[in-house]
Amino acid sequence: MAFREDLDTLVLAVLQSGPMHGYEISRRIRELSEKVLSAGEGKLYPCLHKLEQDGYVQAEWIPQENRPARKVYSLTDKGSGAIVEKRKAWEAFATGVTAILNPPKPEASHG
């Protein structure tokens, strides 16, 4: 058991820095979080495909010379808009966890 991130939220959030290909999204998640979070390829690519399919991001293949082509993703309007809700969901979650981690103390006897 461990806390687990919502990869959709993370992917959409990193794309706020500008268009980016999958491998880089993965790298940024690892680096920005100082290795606390990681988006393994086994779930990153399926996540990206779903996000594209649902219209949160759009993708374009950019050929490279002497390197594999890149599929560059960028936020759509729908994707940008969704970040607002996702951020709220994160805040609610974090508030909830914090409330439990800082529970009301047991009654101290005082007299």
Partner DNA sequence: AATCATACATCAGGTTTTGAGGTATTTGGG
Partner DNA sequence: CCCAAATACCTCAAAACCTGATGTATGATT
The interface region with DNA, picked from 40-48, 82-90, 91-99, 100-108 by CB under 7 A, is 40-48
Q: Which tokens go with 39?
A: 């988006």
Interface residue with DNA among 11, 14, 15, 21 (CB under 7 A) is 21
111 residue type, one letter: G
Q: Which does 78 bind (CB under 5 to 8 A by kind): DNA, a copy of itself, none?
A: none
Q: DSSP characters for 34-89?
A: TTS----HHHHHHHHHHHHHTTSEEEEEEEETTEEEEEEEEE-HHHHHHHHHHHHH
Binding footprint of a copy of itself on the chain (CB under 8 A): 1-10, 13-14, 16-18, 28-29, 32-34, 36-37, 47, 87, 89-90, 92-97, 99-101, 103-106
